[in-house]
């Protein structure tokens, strides 16, 4: 049922950011449809919830987007365990993002697409850049308004069905009793393309400087940060304890 504010689509409703986004949009009076990979599993998860999100499968993205005024493309095939070659994951991301953008264009109702990018595009020369370039090129060529956001560091409690990869990675020091040095060793073996500081180098330094990004554009648009690092970790740890992950 469409509401006064209209209908919006969120891809990847089972994800960490996607599930919170749906929660907020419903709260603000939008009618929300989400695309998920596993329809029955998500319906089971939503049982008992007071929210009234419509569910569609990823294969029917075109139908889900029909009649929407906005689309949040937050689904991502990022493989935290590194099981697939980066080229395959990149191609899947580009095909997925372009498929969503084409559906937005065809709908004739979508006014704006919000796409979540990653800090990796800024910090490291990586294939993530290829995805961003493909998205921005398509939007410029076809006159579709696309806003890209870099949620540089998101950690906190979660309401999605699975333990989010980003929270798991952020809390690796607690969850797997992993030290920073062993994490660096593991990551550089797995992802030699990134310039991860060596175990010995980390032991020597007291700080590590990474290229900075700024939130100025976001703040100029009226965005206000409500939580600091302390609250983010406190609430994430509390949530993991409640869900028996810690
Ligand atoms: N969280 C952060 O700290 C952070 C930081 C920077 C950028 N971001 C960006 O923000 C976006 C959302 O991140 P997140 O942390 O919410 O990720 P997440 O919790 O891992 O959620 C990913 C979502 O994408 C879906 N998905 C995975 N592979 C897919 C595929 N092949 N086809 C269709 N859907 C697929 C997942 O579905 P299943 O549940 O079926 O697996 C899930 O709904 C991503 O673009 C990410 O790069 C996140």
- The pLDDT, as a whole number, for residue 2 is 54
Query: Which of 9, 11, 12 maximizes ligand 1 atoms within 8 Å of its Cβ, making it the mutation to test the pocket?
Result: 12
Query: Which uninterrupted H or E stretch holds 1?
Result: none
For residue 79, the CA-to-ligand 1 centroid distance in Å is 9
For residue 68, the CA-to-ligand 1 centroid distance in Å is 21
Of 143 and 85, the structure prediction assigns the larger pLDDT to 143
Q: How confident is the model at residue 210 (pLDDT cuts 50, 70, 90)?
A: low
Kindly give the residue spans of alpha helices, DSSP state H, lying in the chain. Answer: 16-27, 39-46, 61-65, 86-107, 120-123, 128-142, 165-170, 172-175, 180-190, 199-204, 216-220, 229-242
Rounded to whole angstroms, how far apart are CA atoms 31 and 61? 16
- Token representation of residue 92: 């899947």
Which span out of 14-28, 34-48, 147-161, 203-217 was modeled with the highest average pLDDT? 14-28
Please give the domain boundaries of the chain with CATH numbers for all domains: 7-154 (3.40.50.720)
Residue 48: exposure state from Cβ atoms within 10 A (0-12, 13-18, ≥19)? exposed
Q: How confident is the model at residue 124 (pLDDT cuts 50, 70, 90)?
A: low
Rounded to whole angstroms, how far apart are CA atoms 213 and 28? 29
Residues 6 or more apart from 30 whose CB is under 8 A from it? 3, 5, 6, 7, 8
- Which tens digit of pLDDT belongs to each residue from 18-60? 999 999 999 999 999 999 987 777 777 777 676 678 888 878 8
**Nearest Cα to Cα of residue 151 among 21, 23, 7:** 21
Q: How confident is the model at residue 122 (pLDDT cuts 50, 70, 90)?
A: low
Query: Which of 17, 71, 99 maximizes ligand 1 atoms within 8 Å of its Cβ, making it the mutation to test the pocket?
Result: 17
């Amino acid at each position: 049922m469409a509401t006064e504010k209209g209908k919006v689509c969120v891809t990847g409703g089972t994800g960490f950011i996607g599930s919170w986004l749906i929660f907020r949009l419903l709260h603000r009076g939008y009618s929300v449809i989400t695309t998920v990979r596993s329809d029955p599993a998500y319906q089971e998860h939503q049982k008992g919830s007071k929210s009234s999100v419509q569910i569609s499968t990823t294969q029917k993205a075109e139908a889900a987007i029909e009649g929407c005024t906005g689309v949040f493309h937050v689904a991502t095939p990022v493989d935290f365990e590194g099981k697939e070659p980066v080229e395959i994951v990149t191609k899947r991301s580009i095909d997925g993002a372009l498929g969503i953008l084409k559906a937005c264009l065809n709908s004739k109702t979508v006014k704006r697409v919000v796409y979540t990018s990653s800090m990796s595009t800024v910090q490291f020369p990586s294939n993530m850049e290829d995805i961003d370039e493909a998205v921005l090129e398509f939007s410029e060529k076809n006159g579709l308004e696309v806003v890209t956001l870099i949620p540089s560091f998101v950690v906190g409690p979660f309401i999605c069905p699975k333990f989010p990869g980003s929270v798991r990675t952020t809390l690796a020091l607690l969850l797997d009793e992993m030290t920073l040095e062993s994490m660096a060793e593991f990551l550089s073996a797995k992802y030699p393309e990134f310039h991860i500081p060596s175990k010995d180098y980390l032991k020597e330094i007291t700080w590590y400087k990474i290229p900075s990004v700024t939130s100025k554009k976001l703040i100029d648009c009226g965005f206000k940060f409500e939580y600091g690092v302390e609250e983010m970790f406190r609430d994430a740890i509390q949530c993991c304890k409640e869900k028996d992950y810690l």
